Amino acid sequence: MTNLSIKTLSAPGCGALSFADVEHSQSIGEAVFIAMNRFKVVPGSQADFEQVWTTRDTHLRDVPGFITFHLLRGPDREDHTLYSSHSIWRSRVDFEAWTRSEAFRRAHSDAGSNKPLYLGHPEFEGFEVIQTVEGAAPPT
């Protein structure tokens, strides 16, 4: 059976946003769920917003079904910079179980104190993976 491999590589020059190497394989026939929250960060608050995320304990590493997490910085707009938290889960069921867990409560215990850093509420988007296309393996 064909396997879906998800690999996160450390990115030189990204400082605190570098990620350790993580690899996970899963059969394509199995469900994969991507959970994203979009944040509109107030101009001048980008460094503080990134520090909140990169210095907190996510409590995710040992959560059943968790695969990987990315904090993404998007385009600058006139009134905000777009950010997204992007996590990949083995299934929607695993993600939803995490949202009801003690690990979720601990990871989000200070979330309200960061409200002045962004406009409005975070916008959640959840996606079931329908198709994955992988690049060719690098030559060895």
- DSSP element (H, E) containing 30: none
CATH number of the domain to which 59 belongs: 3.30.70.100
92 found inside a domain: yes
- Reading the block at residue 37, the tokens are 């929250």
36 found inside a domain: yes
63 found inside a domain: yes
Q: In the chain, how many domains are there?
A: 1
136 found inside a domain: no
Q: Find the domain containing 67 and state its range.
A: 31-128
Q: What is the pLDDT of residue 11?
A: 37
- Tell me the whole-structure pTM to 2 decimals: 0.72
- Interval 10-39: pLDDT, tens: 333 333 333 333 344 444 446 799 999 999
For the cut 60, the answer to whether the pLDDT of residue 130 exceeds it is: yes
1 found inside a domain: no
- Interval 55-106: pLDDT, tens: 988 889 889 999 999 999 999 999 999 999 999 999 999 999 999 998 888 8
10 found inside a domain: no
Residues contacting 43, CB < 8 A, separation 6+: 76, 79, 80, 81
26 found inside a domain: no
